[in-house]
Structure 1
């Protein structure tokens, strides 16, 4: 039986890393559903608006992280391809690659320690200014301390997450996936318990803080700390130069990521400011499920980044394309299945007027048409992100111009159409721009692949 399961898993592209990532995404998606019910049961509609708008404002960490974690994974994977691991904590091989790997570790720890401090002050100020201005009529909502706790935890997470990206670059994708799965599970259980005991908006900050502690504990009390110490001592005259190697790549990705904020995270704050906390809450609840679906499907691609980078470093382009195309097909089919299932479930909730704690759960989601306008971009963005990942594994960023243009247009569309036509205008404008981005990205993907591989 176990053998049959393994054969079936291999046919649909599920390896160990993907398996744990899938479990993590299932916990995230299932937890999203459970948290939706807990939010609907334990929070008022106004508090729900705060709950989901918190997440959108926390996403300004993009402006501080600037895509560097993904770059670290790719750079580490390229150097790691020249090394032979003797055991879990040491390796032999190219002295140059060993030294460059060590310099990457030193850079990662120093850089993100500074960025995390800046992020903390940025989050605290942005949150207090926004909610004091647009939520001043909601005087009964206790949001100040929860926001402070979330700001602290998010900043600390920014210090640790690049280390996970570093481990992934070393090929420890399965181990990282395991620890992220454990984090998701613990955070979900804590969230359920805290909501049940009436912690309201405090529930998510406390759960996130306790779940965060899993990563530093795992690093300190395992072989990972010995591995890091071993790599730290390998620095020599060969180092990775940030200005000449990382920055020319990063600034393009950074602008793309910043554009992504205006594409994906502006909906809730705009609706909160223009239509109030209740509509923002509906958008937030709908996006929570849709983003879980996107993350689950994209895990097929994201767990392969070290493999893609390694194949590119060895110029095994045939194997690269075979693996990428198969993975993209598998993940796209999963995406379609999940979106169809979600639409059917929401239809059933509305048709039978299913209630949670005496509250109609269907009222917490967007109406059908705007919901459909958000579902179509989720599918298209899966392909867009997959093609962009493939190209970025070449240590290149050809998505700068499209990301900037679409980001600016999406920002204008969200602010303008959202203000004049409400949620219908906001979502329809987003869908049209995503279709344009899909066509544009595909043409770049085909063109660049021929250029780089033929060269």
Structure 2
């Protein structure tokens, strides 16, 4: 049996980093089913709407983070590819690369220390204004103010930790960072479930953030990864990575892409919460929770390859790069297709059986068949667009700027405009059509830029 499982793992390209990352996603998927059950059982339909809309408002942090976390992983990988780590957890090699690597770590710590505080204040203010206007009119009995403050505090701490995770991934500790996610996906849901059973309601989201912070801190200290970071902080900086000359010309393009991503992925719940009520927003949130878990699992195949792809690009080994990319893309699309089909089948079973628990029909907490299918198609297509974008961005360039901005503007106009006129169906139909168009456009960009860049650099 062990040999059979090992062969299957080899066939789908599952190395240790992917095993932990995808293992975390598999556990997330299984625990997600449990979480959906507990949310349906211990939260009302209105409270479920608050729960998922919380997440969409929290995503506004992207307007401050501006894609820098992902950029750091790539820049660190490029500098570290010229260095070696000794037994004292210090990087050895040319002074130029040691210095540039250390400057990246110092820059991140300074920048994100300020950013975490700014985001905390911003989210508290915006959340209070939004939920006071649209939430209190739907149900004054929902206790959301204190939970929201706790969630914002947890989010700001996670923001401070996020660049350190990106740096460690760029240094090659993908497996260790994936382990943190794996452990978190086991411990966090258990704490949330217990909190729901104990009647903590919307406070459970804050509990989840607190557990993520603790797990990350404990693991990084126990594994000695902090020592690597502190040694880099002690390294004398004689040559810096110039932010405005090297990072900013790339970041502003990534930033616009990430901001556009908010309008593409996160605007549904706030609009539905305001126009059709918390219950419909909760159904959209629950459905997207399942679909995003599937997408996150399959994308782990590609995301764990970012440091290696960045290294191969730095060394100009394009044949190896393309071989790895094509194989990984095939594997992740296969995984995604199977899981999307399984999810829709489960939804059909729930609707047919009308399974009920605690006076709640579980199928009623999800979108209907047609809106769900209209959301499944974009999730499938995003496996391709996301992979093509990752491949090209590992070149420290952002050719998807116009594509992302146009997509964001179209989705914003569609979600707000069609949502106000046609409601849920207007949002889902518009979104599906836009994603089909963006996928064809993205493929054209991928082919043309790959050909252009590799031809110039050979």
User: What is the TM-score normalised by the length of structure 1?
Assistant: 0.98
Deviation at 1:411, TM superposition (A): 0.2
- In the other structure, the counterpart of 2:303 is 302
Counterparts in 2 of 1:88 and 1:441: CA distance versus 1, 3 Å: farther
Q: State whether structure 2 residue 427 is matched by structure 1 residue 437.
A: no
- In the other structure, the counterpart of 1:259 is 260
Q: Summarize the alignment of residues 216-295 of structure 1 with structure 2, pairs less than 5 Å apart.
A: 216-295=217-296
- 2:158 and 2:209 in contact (8 A); partners too: no
Deviation at 1:227, TM superposition (A): 1.1
Please give the alpha-carbon distance, in whole angstroms, between the structure 2 residues aligned to 1:211 and 1:348: 34
Q: State whether structure 2 residue 127 is matched by structure 1 residue 127.
A: yes
- 1:29 and 1:292 in contact (8 A); partners too: yes
- In the other structure, the counterpart of 2:403 is 402
- In the other structure, the counterpart of 1:99 is 99
- In the other structure, the counterpart of 1:374 is 375
- In the other structure, the counterpart of 1:204 is 205
Count of residues in Structure 1 that have an aligned counterpart in Structure 2: 455
- 2:70 and 2:166 in contact (8 A); partners too: yes
4+ long deviations beyond 4 Å: none
Please give the alpha-carbon distance, in whole angstroms, between the structure 1 residues aligned to 2:211 and 2:8: 36
- 1:183 and 1:212 in contact (8 A); partners too: no
- In the other structure, the counterpart of 2:30 is 30
Counterparts in 2 of 1:44 and 1:88: CA distance versus 1, 3 Å: farther
Larger mean Cα displacement after TM superposition, 348-357 or 299-308? 348-357
Please give the alpha-carbon distance, in whole angstroms, between the structure 1 residues aligned to 2:211 and 2:12: 35
Deviation at 1:401, TM superposition (A): 0.6
Unaligned runs of 5+ in 1: none
- In the other structure, the counterpart of 2:47 is 47
Larger mean Cα displacement after TM superposition, 200-209 or 441-450? 200-209
- In the other structure, the counterpart of 1:427 is 428
Deviation at 1:319, TM superposition (A): 0.3
Q: State whether structure 2 residue 317 is matched by structure 1 residue 339.
A: no
Q: Summarize the alignment of residues 148-159 of structure 1 with structure 2, pairs less than 5 Å apart.
A: 148-159=149-160
- 2:184 and 2:211 in contact (8 A); partners too: no
Deviation at 1:88, TM superposition (A): 6.7
Partner SS state of residue 329, structure 1: helix
Partner SS state of residue 364, structure 2: helix
Deviation at 1:223, TM superposition (A): 1.2
Q: How big is each residue's C-alpha offset from its partner over 1:20-71, in whole Å with a ceiling of 9 and x where there is no partner?
A: 0011111222222111110110011111100110011011111111111110
Unaligned runs of 5+ in 2: none
Q: Summarize the alignment of residues 42-191 of structure 1 with structure 2, pairs less than 5 Å apart.
A: 42-87=42-87, 89-137=89-137, 138-191=139-192
Please give the alpha-carbon distance, in whole angstroms, between the structure 2 residues aligned to 1:321 and 1:334: 20
- 1:184 and 1:211 in contact (8 A); partners too: no
Please give the alpha-carbon distance, in whole angstroms, between the structure 2 residues aligned to 1:8 and 1:29: 20
Larger mean Cα displacement after TM superposition, 132-141 or 286-295? 132-141
- In the other structure, the counterpart of 1:18 is 18
Q: State whether structure 2 residue 413 is matched by structure 1 residue 412.
A: yes
Please give the alpha-carbon distance, in whole angstroms, between the structure 2 residues aligned to 1:230 and 1:151: 31
Partner SS state of residue 411, structure 1: helix
The Cα RMSD (Å) is 1.1
Deviation at 1:208, TM superposition (A): 2.1
Please give the alpha-carbon distance, in whole angstroms, between the structure 2 residues aligned to 1:235 and 1:312: 28
Counterparts in 2 of 1:88 and 1:333: CA distance versus 1, 3 Å: farther
Counterparts in 2 of 1:420 and 1:174: CA distance versus 1, 3 Å: same
Please give the alpha-carbon distance, in whole angstroms, between the structure 1 residues aligned to 2:97 and 2:264: 38
Partner SS state of residue 200, structure 1: coil
Q: How big is each residue's C-alpha offset from its partner over 1:308-343, in whole Å with a ceiling of 9 and x where there is no partner?
A: 000000000000000000000000011110100000
Deviation at 1:182, TM superposition (A): 1.1
Counterparts in 2 of 1:35 and 1:88: CA distance versus 1, 3 Å: farther
- 1:88 and 1:223 in contact (8 A); partners too: no
Deviation at 1:5, TM superposition (A): 2.7
- 2:78 and 2:314 in contact (8 A); partners too: yes
Please give the alpha-carbon distance, in whole angstroms, between the structure 2 residues aligned to 1:153 and 1:96: 37
Please give the alpha-carbon distance, in whole angstroms, between the structure 2 residues aligned to 1:235 and 1:454: 38
Please give the alpha-carbon distance, in whole angstroms, between the structure 2 residues aligned to 1:165 and 1:27: 22
Counterparts in 2 of 1:14 and 1:356: CA distance versus 1, 3 Å: same
User: What is the TM-score normalised by the length of structure 2?
Assistant: 0.98
